[in-house]
Structure 1
């Protein structure tokens, strides 16, 4: 078991806000640019535009599977970032280092599975019928499957993130400090995500998703 940090668990509010903000910006940039962008180029597509909420790729010369790879590449980046966050959390000896790792893990893990639910409910996003699920035989069944996997995965990430947070805190107020960290991080990323969605001119469905941090 990873030992708990002996550092004072009451990290300054500014530290939590700054780490969460940086983690969101990095995740959004890498999801669109490194994920969709590199996949688009690798699959023979032509990048057309890029924002924190969208990467345009001309896929006229692509096969069905190439298009699916481009659509799913952003989520794949989130999975990789979540794994890296867990490794940082596990290996860091300071509270701020472990907190940064925890935020990166939780943000990208919840984004990964929350996106599946988002696409299943609203029928838009990377996992919709024009993205990863393009050409499936039964679109309704595919959306139900996405929702089930997304909800189960989201719950698992929440449980794991809660355990990680409690193990890195000391003192008699572990539960209170854990709630404090979680709420501050969630509110910070939610506000930034909502602002980015509005600035990018996203439709109401994407804006709702952004406001709850998926």
Structure 2
């Protein structure tokens, strides 16, 4: 099936040229890609010594990918909309399948994701309880809000109207990654080996410039969408 449009919040292809099985794989492809990106990054963070800025960037990138994938499964199960609803369509009882997706998604999102994501974050939080909570809010809540606003702004430029923004951009950005807004600040015992003095991320104009370039590309080009046909 030939891809036709790449947009910030959706992907289009020639459905008439794709078999039903291919359509289901394409629908599942986004979440699968998120997991295939996120998990290897976490493995790299456990094994490689990297500068603090790179460690934080890779951790946040992995977190967004995994939370988006796990949250999408939960979202499709509860709401009955989205790519995973199309994946399971025709495979059995809709209510049973939705319930199964919701349960699996909830386990992945609220149990598996924190166990995967919180230990690599601990070096940035240190061991002091009060400081950990404050640093967690800075390192997780701010990018959550910035990412959500950026995603919605890009989504508003899509050619299909606000409904797509609500069910895709708002749901994915503010819903899918919402664990970043509240979970890291919950008091918990630091992972073994967490340094007492947290890693410090120095201000870098190179990182700021790179972020500005990526944001411009994401909003200005992918917001309206790129024609691929």
Q: TM-score, normalised on structure 1?
A: 0.70
Give 2:63's aligned residue: 106
Aligned residues: 168
Q: Which runs of 4+ in 1 moved over 4 A?
A: none
Match of 2:14 among 28, 41, 58: 58
5 Å-filtered alignment, 1:181-196, equals 181-196=139-154
Residue 207 of structure 2 is matched in structure 1 by none
CA drift of 1:115 comes to 0.7
Structure 2 unaligned residues grouped into runs of 5+: 177-229
Paired residues of 1:49 and 1:57 also in contact (CA < 8 A)? yes
- Equivalent-residue separation in structure 2 for 1:78 and 1:62 (angstroms): 23
Q: Using CA pairs below 8 Å that are at least 6 residues apart, which structure has the higher relative contact order?
A: 2
1:46 equivalent to 2:2? Answer yes
In the alignment, which residue of structure 2 is the partner of 1:158? 114
Instruction: Give the TM-score normalised by the residue count of structure 2.
Output: 0.66
Taking a change above 3 Å as real, the CA distance of residues 77 and 207 of structure 1, as seen in their structure-2 partners, is closer
Q: Single out whichever of 96-105 and 195-204 deviates more from structure 2.
A: 195-204
- Report the Cα distance in structure 1 between the residues aligned to 2:116 and 2:2, rounded to whole angstroms: 39
The Cα shift of 1:196 comes to 2.2
Structure 1 unaligned spans of 5+: 1-44
How far is 1:51 from its partner? 0.6
Determine which structure has more spread, i.e. the larger CA radius of gyration. Answer: 2
